[in-house]
Amino acid sequence: MDPAAHPAPDVSSHVFLPDGGELGALIRRFDWSQTTLGPLAGWPASLKTVTAMLLLSPTPIVLLWGERGIMIYNDAYSVFAGSRHPQLLGSEVREGWPEVADFNDNVMKVGLAGGTLSYKDQELVLYRNGRPERAWMNLDYSPVFDDQAQPAGVIALVVETTERVLAERELQGQQARLQQMFEQAPGLMAMLRGPEHVFEMANPAYLRVVGERDVIGKPVREALPEVERQGFIDILDRVYRSGTAFVGSGIRIGLQRTQGEAEEERLLDFVFQPVADANGNVSGIFVEGNDVTERAEAEQALRENEQRLRFLDALAKETARSVDADAILTTTTRMLGEHLGLSSCAYADMDPDQDGFTIRGDWAAPGCTSIIGRYRLEAFGTLAVTKLRGGEAFIVDDHCAQLPPAEAATFQQLDIAATICLPLVKEGRLTALMAIHDRKPRVWSACELALLREVTDRSWAHIERVRSAAAVRQREQCFLEQLEAKVAERTAALARSEANIRAVLETSHLYKAMLAPDGSILYVNATALAGIDARFHQLAGTPFWDSPWFSATPGMPEAMKAMTLRVAAGATEHGTMTLNMPGGTRTFDFSMRPVLGDDGTVVALVPEALDISERVAAEQTLQQLHKMEALG
């Protein structure tokens, strides 16, 4: 039924209706005789009163009259109805809104029974514009009584809240996303409120840094008491008072991350950002930053490794031409002591009785006393004896804190507070010692221990070569003195023999190297360097597979890289390879094995190669001869 298609009835029946806008006009023209309400003139007074009232209201109102819920509404409701208007006017509510017929059926039952209903942000799916739309509304339903005071209809106030609901949900979604970002952010974040800097929020990254402590709702000085004496509460107070942000870069902070344990030093980049309220007054401080401890430690390790390689190269150059063991040790202790900033560095030989040892040489920093002399090993304690005789390093960071009084007194008499002592054990016997000392307590780093090990190993290996060479020269001289009277042929033969002995003793015929677990070159012996006519400093730190031994052979760098990675994972490789070398094509019996640390992890890789080119060539020649004989 189209209200606009019917001519207006007798105007005398309209006297109860106000102007009422568009709907007032439509109601006047509508043929109500086609509905259960009948003509306007016959409407009961209660129906006329309610109709007049709703037409004057700016709020969307719809009247559902009678058992069928005949719909009468105002202009505001027509806007809500969308394209369903004006067909809704005079229609039955269950048919006018068929998609929510069940909902309206309940409304009619409750209202006609004299009850009321109220819904806040009620969600309904309506076909207002030819397609389903989700809409949210505040709905209030009340019964309307007829002239006999009986429920005859239901009046509904309809306020659409769709825009607000969607806006609130979008805001909630944004807040949820922000909260998720806050929770998942890799950087540490926290919100502090008020002049006491009470923790309002802290994300997981922040809690991990402070040791998963329960900080929410507590002032900083209570939640993290150790930071107050470090000055951080004073900084927060200044930021809160001044409203000026504080930016910290690489700030060291001690945090008691485990209850009852010592404070752990962390390195942080952070910002204390003041947060203002609606009046522009500082109400809190937002903390944002990053724990850069691991990054700083990695950078420091890289710098230390570079310094170590440069130092080892310089030490090798300085001692390369030395032919005297004491001269080598004197240079080594001086350079090592200066490089590490020590108070002294010394070397000693064990006495035959395995108890006494004699410090034959040392280097002492300006203002420090030399400790050259003879000492009893037992005076330094049972732990020192056990470790050194077992081939282990004896390490003390602070003798007062770590050693019994009697043993600490021995170190104190030598003006030594901290030490690392490395043993040289040969054939099960402790034969020599090398040690670094500091007159102040010092926490020795793994890098310092590793450097001392490498320097000690290189020095003792060099000394062994020097002593072996000296012994060979001494034997040669003895042979020459004894054989002066012999014929020239015997003398020449003896000289050639002695020369061969020196060559064997002084230079290994194997190509040898040592690699870091990532395949970078740490050490190469003279035989291997001679094969490519290179100096060690040109190769140090470069990937093994990119070295001149393999670069001229097609496909070999890739194959060698794959082999290195397998050995770094714990495998041992062995085989034969043919390489294009500066002097021509050479064939090698090649092997590579891993070196495991105390914890079973791979700490280094050791490649070795034996040049078997001549043997391979001879075998090939022999095979050719056999073939010729067989054809023969």
Query: Is residue 198 very low, low, confident or very high in pLDDT (cuts 50, 70, 90)?
Result: very high
Q: Average pLDDT of 49-76?
A: 94
The pLDDT value recorded for residue 504 is 38
DSSP string over 408-449 = HHHHHHTT-SEEEEEEEEETTEEEEEEEEEESS-----HHHH
- Its CATH architecture, for the domain 511-619, is 2-Layer Sandwich (3.30)
Residue 321 structure tokens: 């031409």
* 185-291: CATH class: alpha beta
Residue 475 structure tokens: 């034997």
The pLDDT value recorded for residue 487 is 47
Q: Where are the domains of the chain?
A: 3-165, 185-291, 303-473, 511-619
pLDDT digits (tens, 9 = 90+) for 114-123: 999 999 999 9
Q: Which of 299-308, 318-327, 365-374, 472-481 has the lowest mean pLDDT?
A: 472-481
Residue 488 structure tokens: 């020239």
Mean pLDDT over the full length of the chain: 86
The pLDDT value recorded for residue 542 is 92
Residue 500, pLDDT above cutoff 70: no
- Alpha carbon 142 to its chain centroid, in Å, reads 63
446-482 vs 325-340: helix crossing angle, rounded to 10: 170
Q: Which of 6-10, 169-173, 477-481, 615-619 has the lowest mean pLDDT?
A: 6-10
For 3-165, CATH gives 3.30.450.20
pLDDT digits (tens, 9 = 90+) for 447-467: 888 888 888 888 777 777 776
User: Model pTM?
Assistant: 0.44
Start-to-end CA distance of the chain, whole Å, equals 121
- Alpha carbon 199 to its chain centroid, in Å, reads 25
Show contacts of 389-396: CB within 8 Å, 24+ apart: 389/354, 389/423, 389/425, 389/430, 391/423, 391/425, 392/423, 393/420, 393/421, 393/422, 393/423, 393/449, 393/453, 394/419, 394/420, 394/421, 394/423, 395/419, 395/420, 395/421, 395/444, 395/449, 396/420
Tell me if 494 sits within 8 A of 478, measured CB to CB: no
Residue 561, pLDDT above cutoff 90: yes
Whose CA is closest to 563, among 590, 538, 531, 581?
590
Residue 495 CA to residue 502 CA, distance in Å, equals: 10
Residue 355 CA to residue 75 CA, distance in Å, equals: 111
pLDDT digits (tens, 9 = 90+) for 272-297: 999 999 898 999 999 998 989 888 88
Residue 456 CA to residue 346 CA, distance in Å, equals: 11
Tell me if 446 sits within 8 A of 305, measured CB to CB: no
Torsion of CA 467, 469, 471, 473, to 10 degrees: -140
Residue 36 CA to residue 47 CA, distance in Å, equals: 13
Residue type for position 130? G
Topology match between the domains 3-165 and 303-473 = yes
| Length of the chain, in residues | 632
The pLDDT value recorded for residue 498 is 45
Count CA atoms within 13 Å of residue 595 on its CB side. 12
Whose CA is closest to 286, among 267, 304, 300, 271?
271
pLDDT > 90 fraction of the chain, expressed in percent and rounded: 45
| Third-level CATH fold of 303-473 | Beta-Lactamase (3.30.450)
The pLDDT value recorded for residue 399 is 82
Residue 632, pLDDT above cutoff 70: no
Query: Is residue 484 very low, low, confident or very high in pLDDT (cuts 50, 70, 90)?
Result: low
- C-alpha dist (Å) from residue 181 to 173, 201, 209, 271, 284: 12, 13, 18, 18, 20
Residue 166, pLDDT above cutoff 80: yes
Residue 46, pLDDT above cutoff 70: yes
The pLDDT value recorded for residue 476 is 66
More confident residue, 526 or 503: 526
Q: Average pLDDT of 11-25?
A: 74
Would you call 355 helix, strand, or coil by DSSP? coil
* Residue 321 burial class via C-beta count within 10 angstroms: exposed 0-12, middle 13-18, buried 19 and up: exposed
pLDDT > 70 fraction of the chain, expressed in percent and rounded: 91
Residue 503, pLDDT above cutoff 70: no
Q: Average pLDDT of 30-42?
A: 92
The pLDDT value recorded for residue 14 is 65
Residue 60 CA to residue 156 CA, distance in Å, equals: 8
422 bridge partner residues: 434
